[in-house]
Amino acid sequence: MESIGEVMDKIIDHDKYDAVVDSIMSNEEIQAFIAGNEMQETEIRKSYPKFYEYLHPNKAFDGFTSKLIFHNGYADVVYRETEEAIKAKKTKAAIRKLKAGSLILDETIKDATFDTFKAETAEESSALKFAHDLAEFYKNGGKGNAFMSGPAGSGKSHLSMAILKSYLENGEKTALFVSYSHVVRLIKDSFNNRDSMYTQNNMMSLLTSVDLLVIDDIGSENNSDFSEELLTDVLDGRMSTIITTNLSSGELRGSATKNGRYAIRTASRMFKSIGKKAFNFKDIADKRVMPF
Ligand SMILES: Nc1ncnc2c1ncn2[C@@H]1O[C@H](COP(=O)(O)OP(=O)(O)O)[C@@H](O)[C@H]1O
Ligand SMILES: [Mg+2]
């Protein structure tokens, strides 16, 4: 039987063929492979197409690394998916899960990323930097709660969703974004709906099992002992939660003369291990450190 090399010999332009063979044989990696496997002349000739394939990878194999192996007397090319390609696939799957599992009424927030956040003012630039730094902090294994406060529309939900997506780039992590008023409503609805999957138990295990959770818009829920107790339980069951709110720290926890929206014990759980992980959109001069 004729070898592939011999068939090629017959059907293609000889000058071109010689030039291709020359380029293959002058390649140092190919030379080392031939020497390393002590390949004979006929084995080398039979291997030209595989050498050529190795040196000219097909675009369809983007995301794969190729390797030459010596097999049954001639060279062969094997492909393996690159670490980056595997990681990118995992990240994509994790983000799909985040979007599907998040409990949020404003669907546009699901598409929020750092790239789509416009930093046109100094405040937006600092907010973006804060969010970037926070994502890096959690990606590097940092723990503790974080806070974003400020008026409606300032980009708190957008940036906190972007942080979760960036966080998931690490692979093997889970994250969820929930609007707190929606959580409370879903659980209350489940009281009268036996088929609801959002029972209090299910919700608790959902919210306490993910590695990083955003509880969005605290203070927008109808306040009750129930909603406050639930918040305390969720926060007690977690290490790292990003909380956003339209309320100021004073409004959240009150002062000596005025009751806050939440009892001190709830507020103190929100501010657990918060360090400097707080950003107030209103306070340009002193935005990184809230007076907690
Ligand atoms: N700087 C920004 N660049 C791009 N889109 C923004 C920016 N700030 C806010 N948005 C968009 O405006 C809308 C309101 O922002 P959002 O994050 O929901 O504000 P907040 O949660 O502070 O009330 C969202 O659709 C969000 O994607
Ligand atoms: Mg919001």
Q: What pLDDT is recorded for position 120? A: 87
Best of 156, 158, 179 for a ligand 1 pocket test (most atoms within 8 Å of beta carbon): 158
In whole angstroms, what is the distance from residue 156 CA to residue 144 CA?
18
Q: Which residues contact 283 (CB under 8 A, 6 or more apart)?
A: 290
pLDDT in tens, 134-157: 999 999 999 999 999 998 889 999
Q: Which atom of ligand 1 is nearest to the CA of 116?
A: 4
Q: What pLDDT is recorded for position 9? A: 63
Q: What pLDDT is recorded for position 292? A: 42
Confidence band of 289 (pLDDT split at 50, 70, 90): very low
Query: CA 210 from chain center: how many Å?
Result: 13
CA of 79 to the centre of ligand 2 (A): 46
In contact, 227 and 192? CB cutoff 8 Å = no
Average pLDDT of span 101-108: 92
CA of 158 to the centre of ligand 1 (A): 5
Evaluate if residue 287 carries a pLDDT over 50. no
Q: What pLDDT is recorded for position 11? A: 62
pLDDT in tens, 5-36: 666 666 667 778 888 999 999 999 999 999 99
User: Hey, what domains does the chain have and what are their CATH numbers?
Assistant: 4-81 (no CATH), 85-280 (3.40.50.300)
CA of 108 to the centre of ligand 2 (A): 11
**Nearest ligand (C-alpha, residue 114):** 1
Confidence band of 133 (pLDDT split at 50, 70, 90): very high
**Nearest ligand (C-alpha, residue 149):** 1
Confidence (pTM): 0.80
